[in-house]
Structure 1
Amino acid sequence: MNIETKYHGIVEVSKEEILHFAAGIPGFPEEKKFVILPLEDTGFAVMQSAATPEIAFVVAEPFTFFPEYDFKLDEQVIEQLELGSAEDVRVCTILTVREPFEKTTANLQAPVIINTKNRKAKQVILNESGYQTRHPLFGQKVKG
């Protein structure tokens, strides 16, 4: 299927690439299908709504920038996403891109958790983690 995107124009994606957010994501409850499209040669990607071209979030795998990033998922989330093992999990964090780019921040308080086997996904709010919504991506340590 073809989807219109914010940053990539019209892109062909397969059904297997679509992520399914049962309850949408915070602030966008009606947006239930997304796809992750790499931003070439950057290490970053875009989590693009499959339905609404204007809704796209720049994302990154947090462990690249924050190797000490760690949290425990609630049993309810594990059941909702039908997670069988840690190998089935992909974690992304939504970035707030700033000018200059070195001031970009990552939302470590609300990672996107993806079951790579069944493509179920959820943005999880980590209320008691000590993480914030705007951790500088470059140059500062994170305390969880």
Structure 2
Amino acid sequence: MTDTVHSLETSRFGSVSYDEKDAIHFAQGIPAFEEKKNWILLGEEDDPVKWLQSLDDGNLALPVSSPFYVDQGYTLDIPGEDADAIGLDRSKPDRTGVLVVITIPLDSPWEATANMVAPIVVNLDSREARQIVAIDERYSVWHPVLSAEAKAAMQGRESQA
């Protein structure tokens, strides 16, 4: 099997090359972006925040992260209907990827929040994905990304600049 490399012009990253096998497909799109079905994940391996870049619109990229960077104790119960829709094999939990969308205010990045209620679940074998709603009272759509100490440190650096 040969790999198929494509190029995409993006507003945020310039020209990006990607392998077709790395594309992530959302059959239903992502809420608010239902027409955008194909995406790639961009960013360095060790970066806690990556970018979910639309392959259908070079101007659209969403900051995302592992929910475990936000809350090390994060747990997720994926409803059967959602697992079936993307072909998850529950006997292989290591083949399931989970991302949360991050909102980063331009003027106060220390106030970044993560949507822990609607994670993106990816079947790492088929590259099929779906944003699901996980009702869990511990989390919110605006779950703080940074601890109070980290926020204070960032604000201190900002005021010194």
Instruction: Rate the CA distance shift 1:41–1:70 in 2: closer, same or farther, 3 A.
Output: closer
Secondary structure at the aligned position of 1:28 is classed as coil
Question: Which structure is higher in helix share?
Answer: 2
State the Cα RMSD in Å. 1.5
Q: Which has the higher contact order (CA 8 A, sep 6+)?
A: 1
Q: What is the CA–CA distance in structure 1 between the aligned matches of 2:129 and 2:8, rounded to whole Å?
A: 19
- In the alignment, is residue 121 of structure 1 matched against residue 129 of structure 2? yes
List alignment gaps of at least 5 residues for structure 1. none
TM-score (norm 2): 0.81
Q: Deviations over 1:106-138 (max 9, x none)?
A: 000110101111100011112x31221111101
Contact 2:70 2:114 in 1 (8 A): no
Amino acid at match of 2:140: Q
Give 1:38's match in structure 2, choosing from 38, 43, 46: 43
Once the two structures are TM-superposed, the CA of residue 41 in structure 1 deviates from its matched residue by 6.1
Which residue of 2 is the match for residue 24 of structure 1? 29
Matched, 1:93 2:120: no
Q: Structure 2: how far apart are the matches of 1:40 and 1:67?
A: 18
How far apart are 1:75 and its partner, in Å? 0.6
In the alignment, structure 2 segments of 5+ residues that lack a partner are 1-5, 149-161
Structure 1 residue aligned with 2:153: none
Q: 2: distance between equivalents of 1:83 and 1:12?
A: 28
Equivalent-residue separation in structure 2 for 1:40 and 1:116 (angstroms): 16
Cα distance 1:78–1:41, how it changes in 2: closer, same or farther (>3 A)?
closer
TM-score by length of 1: 0.90
Report if the CA contact (8 A) 2:98-2:120 is conserved.
yes
- Tell whether the 8 Å contact from 1:25 to 1:31 is kept in structure 2 after alignment: yes
- Residue aligning to 1:13: 18
The Cα of 1:39 is off from its aligned counterpart by: 5.2
Q: Note closer, same or farther for the CA distance 1:41–1:120 as it changes in structure 2 (3 Å cut).
A: closer
Larger Rg: 2
Q: Number of aligned pairs?
A: 139
